[in-house]
Chains A and B, each alone.
Chain A
Amino acid sequence: MKKETEILVPLMTEVCDEGNICVEGLNVYYGDRQALKDINITLPAKKITAIIGPSGCGKTTLLKCFNRLIDSIDGTKVTGKVMLNGEDIFDPHADVIKIRKKMGLLSQRPYPLPMSIYDNVAYGPRIHGIRKKSELNQIVEYYLREASLWDEVMDRLNTPASGLSIGQQQRLCLARGLAVKPEIILGDEPTSALDPISSAHIEKKFVEFKNKYTIVMVTHILRQAIRIADYIIFMYLGEIIEHGPAHQVLDNPKDKRTSDYIKGIIS
C-alpha cells in the first residue's frame, strides 16, 4: 500500500530541501499500542498542509512529534526520524528548546498563560533573553497586529488574558507563538472550540501567513481543509493512506478509504 501511494502522488515533494519537514520511517507506540505506523512523508515549506482523518487515527500524535511535545506523554516510544533543515528532531542530542522555538503551536482550545495580555506575548521573547522594555513593546505590538488583535486590546494590554473572548484568546495564542519567530506553525484543530467568525479569522490568518511560514494543521473539518489547504494528508488507524495536492486528494482520491471519508461514509 505504501509503495502504491508513493507512485500515485508524485506532485508532493519528495526532496528534503531546506524548510521541508521530512518524516522517515516514524513509528510511535503508546505502551503496547502502536499509534503511528511507519510514516514516510515530506511536508513542503511555506505551504498549508492539512492532516485529515477520523478520530484516533494519529493526526495529533504526528503533529506532537514535530515539536517533541510527544516527550511529555507517559510511556511513549518513538523510532524513526523527522528531519528539518538537515537535523533530526529526534536525535538524542538535539536541542528540544531550539526545536520548539522554531514551531508555533495552536492547540484545540486556547490556553492563555496566567498573566496579562502583554506578558503572554512577551513570555516567549523574555525567556529567550529579550529584556529591553522598548524592544518588548515593539514585539508585543507587532505580533498582536500580525494576529489582528491589536485594535481590540491596545487599551487593555495589562488586563488578564483570561478576560478575552475565546476567539480573541486563540488569536492571542497565535501572536504569542509568532513572537518567538517560528518557521513553522502547527495547528491542532485550532478552530474546533471557536465560533464561526473567530474560526474564519484564524483561517484568514493562515492563508495570509503561508508565504512566511510552513503551516501544518490537523483538522476535523473537511471543509476547512478544502478552503485553505495546499496539501492534504489522509490518515487512518495510524497510517498515511493518501497524500498529495489538496484538489487531487479531494477530487480524485485513489484509495477507497479516502473517498469513503470524503463522502462521509466513515468519519
Chain B
Amino acid sequence: MNINKVEEGIFKVLMKTSTLLVLVSLFLIIYSILQKGLPSLSWAMITQTPKGGFFLGKGGGILNAIVGSLYLAGGSTILGLFISLPVALYLNVYRTKTSQFADFTRLCLDVLWGIPSIVYGAFGFAIMLLIGLKASLLAGIITLTLMVIPIMVRAMDEVIMTVPKGLIDASYSLGATKIETSIKVVSKQVLPGILTAVLISFGRSIGDAASVLFTSGFTDRIPTSLMQPAANLPLAIFFQLSTPIPEVQDRAYASALVLTVIILLISILSRIATKKFTKHKSLV
C-alpha cells in the first residue's frame, strides 16, 4: 500500500473523529437540557414573571429574564454594530495593508477579545460608579457592547480583508469616494460576514452572565426604561441551579432550553437573511 494513501486514510479518520466528537458533545448537551428541562417547561414559565417565592418552588415564570436578555443582547448588538462596522471599514479601506496602526489596533482588539467577561463587568461597574449610573439596563448594554466590539470588529475585519482589490478599484475608477465605496460596495459584498459577526456577538452577549452581574442588576419585573435594572437568562439559570430544591433546579434546565431555542431561532433567521442578501454578491 502506498504511503500517501495510508497518510490520507489516517487523517481522514482523525478528521471524522473530531467532527463526530463535536457533534456528539453538542447533542449530549442538548439532550441533557431537553431531558431535564422539557418536563418543567410550561406556558406559564415563559409568559409570566416570577411570583413571590419563585426560587423556592412557588409559581411564576422567567419572562423577566427572557425579555431582559433580549433587551441586553439586542441593545448591545445594535450599539456594537454601529461602532464596529466603521472601525472594520476604516482598518481596511482607509488604512493600507501594511499599516502599522491597523496592525496595532488588531492586536489590541485580539487582546480585548481574550479578556474574561467578569473583567468587563468589573470595568463597567467602575465606570458606573464614576458617572453615577445605577445598575440598569443601560449599564448592562454598555458593558456588553464593550465586550462584543472586539469580536465584531475582528470578525468583520477578516471578511473585509478578502474583498478583492479589483472590486474596490472598480468602484474608485468610476469616481466613487472611499466612503461611497465602503458603504455601497464593500459592506454589500461582505454582508453575509457582517451578519455572521452580528450573530456571534448576539450569541455571546445573550449567553454572558459575568459582565451583567454587577451592571444590569436583577429584578423580577420587566424593565420599562433604560434606567431600570434588568434580569437575564444566564443569571436566572445560575440562581435557580444554586437552590437546593430539585424542582427549581429542573426549571433552570427549562430556562437553559429557552435560551438555546432563542439562539437557534436567531441562527436560523440569520441564515435566511444571509441567503436573501448574498444573491448580489460578486463572485470573485
Pairwise interchain contact B172-A114, C-beta atoms closer than 8 A: no
Report B284 CB to chain A, min CB distance, Å: 6
Check A160/B174 contact, CB under 8 A, given A107-B166, A111-B164, A123-B184.
no
Whether A114 touches B282, Cβ cut-off 8 Å, given contacts A74-B96, A74-B98, is yes
The residue on A at minimum CB distance from B93 is A72
| A-chain residues with CB within 8 Å of residue B175 when the two chains form the complex | 97-98, 100-101, 124, 127-128, 180
Using CB atoms, name the residue of chain A closest to B189. A114
Q: Which residue of A lies closest to B188 (CB)?
A: A114
Question: At the interface, yes or no: A61 with Cβ under 8 Å from chain B?
Answer: no
For residue B173, CB closer than 8 A to chain A, the reply is yes
At the interface, yes or no: B281 with Cβ under 8 Å from chain A?
yes
With A114-B185, A116-B280, A127-B180 as given contacts, are A107 and B170 in contact (CB-CB < 8 Å)? yes
Asked whether, in the complex, the Cβ of A111 is within 8 Å of the Cβ of B176, the reply is: no
Q: Does B267 lie at the interface of the complex (its beta carbon under 8 Å from any beta carbon of A)?
A: no
A69 within 8 A of B: yes
Instruction: List the A side residues contacting B110 at CB < 8 Å.
Output: none
Chain A residues near B170 (CB-CB < 8 A): 105, 107, 111, 113, 173
Q: With the chains together, A124 CA to B184 CA distance in Å?
A: 11
Kindly identify, within residues 66 to 102 of chain A, every residue whose CB is under 8 Å from any CB belonging to chain B. 67, 69, 72, 74-75, 97-98, 100-101
Residue among A67, A111, A116 with the highest chain B CB neighbour number at 10 A: A111
A30 to chain B, nearest CB (A): 12
CB distance from B165 to the nearest CB of A (A): 8
Q: How large is the interface on A (under 10, 10 to 19, 20 to 34, 35 or more residues)?
A: 20 to 34
Q: What chain A residues lie within 8 Å of B171 (beta carbons)?
A: 113, 123
| Interface presence of B279 (CB below 8 A) | yes
**Least distance between B80 CB and chain A CB atoms (Å):** 24
Q: Which residue of B lies closest to A95 (CB)?
A: B175
Query: Out of B169, B176, B185, B281, which one reaches A107, CB within 8 Å?
Result: B169
**Distance of B253 from chain A, by nearest CB (Å):** 44
Interface string of A159-172 (1 = CB under 8 A from B): 01110000000000
* Cα–Cα, bound, A176→B282 (Å): 15
Q: Which residues of A contact B166 (CB under 8 A)?
A: 107-109, 111
> Across the two chains, which residue of chain B brings its CB closest to A160?
B280
Tell whether A58 is near chain B: CB-to-CB under 8 Å.
no
Docked complex: A93-141 residues within 8 A CB-CB of B: 97-98, 100-101, 103-105, 107-109, 111-116, 123-124, 127-128
Please name all residues of chain B whose beta carbon is closer than 8 Å to the beta carbon of A123 when the two chains form the complex: 171, 174, 176, 184
Q: Report chain A residues within 8 Å CB of B279.
A: 160
Question: A69–B169 contact, CB under 8 A?
Answer: yes
Taking A69-B172, A105-B170 as given, write out 20 further A-B residue pairs in contact, using a Cβ cutoff of 8 Å, ordered by the A residue number.
A72-B96, A75-B98, A100-B175, A107-B169, A111-B169, A111-B282, A111-B284, A112-B282, A113-B167, A114-B167, A114-B185, A114-B280, A124-B174, A124-B176, A128-B175, A160-B280, A160-B281, A162-B282, A177-B173, A177-B174
Enumerate the 9 nearest inter-chain pairs by beta-carbon distance, A residue then B residue, closest first.
Answer: A101-B175, A105-B173, A124-B174, A111-B170, A114-B189, A114-B188, A114-B282, A162-B283, A111-B167
Chain B interface residues toward A at CB < 8 A: 96-98, 164-177, 180, 184-185, 188-189, 279-284
